[in-house]
Chain A
């Protein structure tokens, strides 16, 4: 069964450093998302992306965050200058169609630890 792949599974960085979290969505999917879950808190929406543009972003997704689809297969989330509060599990998700939440497939996540 096709799956969304995220690398690395764990990433440790120093506060103030830039990090790039990588995702390979399912190959024929067109819509891409990032969600995150801070330990002990809810899964939160960050951003949705379609046709090389951000479709929607949450209040969390400030200027420190950016997303990119650098080629036909990868989808990345960049945090320019990490803060302690950015420590979380980051989930990438993709969907082939718009308008069907049940068709959203999540990756296994990247655990980001900011020290």
Chain B
């Protein structure tokens, strides 16, 4: 199942700098996109989402950008903090509330 893909297994950034996590999808029927964060020994927790009718959604330090023509979304974290170190999953669904299709995840490490 390659419908949602995160090509970077890991990303390392310095504290205070921007973290950019990328996600690509192939199913043009996806209508809703989410980012989840996961710490070790915990379940995924919701971070931010975006509907396909928007191209940007912002929540504090977190911004998600959606490029529908390229079937690409990205998560920007500015400024990055050591506590942001976690695995970040991109997920997509056919509608808001329907089953989620996840990407592989990207391990973000923010160095002090």
Contacts and interface: CB of A to CB of B under 8 A. Distances in A.
B102 interface: yes
A104 interface: yes
A106 B96 contact: no
A109 interface: yes
B49 to A, nearest CB: 5
Contact of A44 (B44, B46, B102): B102
A50 B45 CA distance: 21
Interface stretch (A64-72, A77-85, A95-103): A95-103
Contact of B44 (A43, A48, A58, A97): A43
B106 to A, nearest CB: 12
Contact of B43 (A44, A45, A95, A107): A107
A80 B105 CA distance: 30
A56 B99 contact: yes
B32 A91 contact: no
B88 to A, nearest CB: 12
A102 B46 contact: yes
Contacts of B32: 101
B45 A108 contact: no
B52 interface: no
Given A58-B99, A100-B97, A101-B49, A42 B104 contact: yes
5 contacts: A35-B100, A41-B104, A45-B99, A91-B43, A101-B98
